[in-house]
Amino acid sequence: MIIDCHGHYTTEPKALHEFRARQIAAVKERSALPSRESLKISDDEIREGIESAQLKLQRERGTDLTIFSPRASGMGHHIGDEPVSLEWSQICNDLIHRVVRLYPNNFIGVCQLPQSIGVEPKNSIAELERCVTQLGFIGCNLNPDPSGGYFNAPPLTDKWWYPLYEKMVELDVPAMIHVSGCCNPAQHTTGSYYLNADTMAFMQLILSDLFKDFPGLKLIIPHGGGAVPFHWGRFRGIALNNKRPELNEIMSNNIYFDTCVYHQPGIDLLTKVVPIDNILFASEMVGAVKGIDPKSGHYFDDTKRYIDHAPGLSAADKQKIFEGNTRRVFSRLRIPQSVAQASA
């Protein structure tokens, strides 16, 4: 079976965007925030968005299950204060829960956290716990830069983050390290900012003792690990020059890359240099790059095709990337019986 570990709810009903616009307007102009009760979304509206996009593409591409979280660029941790971020996060997470309840065979939830500029990550613990224990979510998206583009939060290896990591380990859930929309005009959200955050995070981790302190901590760096596989020699060399072990050993059971790399040569490189055990299948659909590649005639984000065609991957390797590794990392994932039977 094929599990996509990185899907965002990017086909939200219009009412959600309208609510968010009112919330942002209230923050900027210090007027009354809209009440949560004012937001009305019907199951049919949810179905309409999901069935015409994510579900349709799952069927077309032959993937079974998507680990599903709120739109990453919409988390907006730099907007408003902590209560605003909390309310917005709860609304978005509850909506993911509704999607999962409507399509239990196709989606399983991952939450966004109510982070906010300068606010300690431990304040996100309650929402993480709610999502995992009450909504059945199996992971979270952790924003390493709540400023939205200025990279001024403490590194992920700083003790600032430790209470959240403790809870993650206790709940046995991984985090995908994923920034949100960029408010810095020097960086483009999906073009440079996402990738820069990925590269930054990896570099922070490899020179640290974080995984000595948290041997059970599991972090997924999306978008194929940013610039890392392309510069594998640079990172290896810097690690070795700093008396650290080989990257394979550092990554081990703690750091994973996904396959959101939108061309064949990129996936070929990823699967050649990064240990197969540390690669999780993902497409990020419907997300960063929509549309069909005029050269290949296929969707840019149809990453399953690239894995299918990557030279040197055995059937066992592909099984690990498509399913095995993801089940190991998302250890709370229980495959719905109907899906397991259908793909057996």
Give catalytic status of residue 249 as yes or no.
no
Task: Compare residues 6 and 97 and give the one whose CB is closer to a copy of itself.
Answer: 6
Q: Three-class SS of residue 111?
A: strand
Task: Compare residues 22 and 272 and give the one whose CB is closer to a copy of itself.
Answer: 272
The residues in 229-288 that bind a copy of itself, with binding defined as CB under 8 A, are 229-238, 240-241, 261-263, 265-266, 268-270, 272-273, 288
Residues 259, 280 contacting (CB under 8 angstroms): yes
DSSP state letter for 223: G
Distance CA 75, CA 69 (A): 10
State the nearest-atom distance from the C-beta of 288 to a copy of itself, in Å. Answer: 7
Q: Three-class SS of residue 175?
A: strand
State the nearest-atom distance from the C-beta of 148 to a copy of itself, in Å. Answer: 11
Site string for a copy of itself, 163-192 (x = CB under 8 A): ---------------------xxxxx-xxx
Distance CA 279, CA 297 (A): 26
As a dihedral over the C-alpha atoms of residue 147, residue 148, residue 152, residue 155, rounded to 10 degrees, the angle is 110
66: phi > 0 → left, psi -120 to 50 → alpha, else beta; which?
A: beta
What string of DSSP letters covers 138-182? --EEE-S-TTSSS--SPPTTSGGGHHHHHHHHHHT--EEE-----
268: phi > 0 → left, psi -120 to 50 → alpha, else beta; which?
A: alpha
Site string for a copy of itself, 125-154 (x = CB under 8 A): -------------------xx---xxxxxx
Task: Compare residues 30 and 295 and give the one whose CB is closer to a copy of itself.
Answer: 295
Residue 7 in the binding site for a copy of itself (CB under 8 A): no
Distance CA 115, CA 126 (A): 12
Which residues partner with 108 through β-bridges?
67
Site string for a copy of itself, 65-104 (x = CB under 8 A): ----------------------------------------
Residue 305 in the binding site for a copy of itself (CB under 8 A): no
Catalytic residue among 12, 127, 284, 323: 284
Task: Compare residues 38 and 152 and give the one whose CB is closer to a copy of itself.
Answer: 152
Distance CA 278, CA 343 (A): 23
Distance CA 46, CA 294 (A): 31
Residues 1, 322 contacting (CB under 8 angstroms): yes
Task: Compare residues 151 and 214 and give the one whose CB is closer to a copy of itself.
Answer: 151
State the nearest-atom distance from the C-beta of 144 to a copy of itself, in Å. Answer: 8
Site string for a copy of itself, 205-224 (x = CB under 8 A): --x---------------xx
**Position among 291, 297, 311, 312 found at the interface with a copy of itself (CB under 8 A):** 291
State the nearest-atom distance from the C-beta of 98 to a copy of itself, in Å. Answer: 30
Distance CA 157, CA 217 (A): 12
Upstream peptide bond of 286 is cis (omega within 30 degrees of 0):
yes
Binding site for a copy of itself (CB under 8 A): 144-145, 149-155, 184-188, 190-192, 195-196, 199-200, 202-204, 207, 223-224, 226-227, 229-238, 240-241, 261-263, 265-266, 268-270, 272-273, 288-291, 293-294, 300
Which residues have a catalytic role annotated?
A: 284
